[in-house]
Amino acid sequence: MSPSIKDVAERAGVSVGTVSNVLNHPERVADSTRAAVQAAISALGFVRNSSAAQLRAGTSRSIGLIVLDMANPFFHDVARGAEDVADELGYAVVLCNSDDQPSRENRYLQVLEEQRVRGVLITPIEVGSERLDALRRRGTPTVLVDRHDPRVNCCSVAVDDVVGGELAGAHLLGLGHERILYLTGPLGLRQCADRLTGLRQAVAAAGLDPGEVIDVVEERAMNARTAHDAARARFADDRATTAVFCANDLMALGVLRAALNTGRRVPDDLAIVGYDDIEFAADAAVPLTSIRQPTQQIGRAAAQLLVEECDHPETHAHQQVMFKPELVIRDSTTRE
269 vs 333: CA distance, rounded Å: 10
Residues near its own copies (CB under 8 A), total:
48
Residue 187 binds what, of its own copies, DNA, none (CB under 5 to 8 Å, by partner type)? none
Q: Which residue, 39 or 134, is less far from its own copies as judged by CB? A: 134
Q: Residue 318 belongs to what H/E stretch?
A: none
Distances (CA, A) of 153 to 136, 147, 286, 304: 9, 13, 45, 17
Task: Kindly tell me which of 17 and 128 has the beta carbon lying closer to DNA.
Answer: 17
Selected binder of its own copies within 33, 38, 54, 197 (CB under 8 A): 54
CA 226 remoteness from chain centre? 24
The mark string for 91-130 relative to its own copies (x by CB under 8 A, - otherwise) is -x-xx-x------------xx-xxxx--------------
Residue partners of 10: CB distance under 8 A and separation at least 6: none
Report how far residue 101's alpha carbon sits from residue 118's, in angstroms, rounded to the nearest whole number. Answer: 24
Among 7, 48, 208, 326, binds its own copies (CB under 8 A): 48
Using DSSP, state whether 66 is helix, strand or coil. strand
Q: List binders of DNA among 24-83 (CB under 7 A).
A: 24-25, 28-30, 32-34, 46, 48-49, 52-53, 55-58
Q: Are strands 326-328 and 290-292 parallel, antiparallel or unpaired?
A: antiparallel
Nearest partner of 182 among 73, 291, 285, judged by Cα: 291
CB nearer to DNA: pick between 155 and 310: 310
Please give the residue ranges that form the binding site for its own copies (CB under 8 A).
1-2, 45, 47-52, 54-55, 58, 60, 70-71, 73, 76, 79, 83, 92, 94-95, 97, 110-111, 113-116, 134, 137-139, 223-225, 228, 250, 253-254, 256-257, 260, 280, 282-285
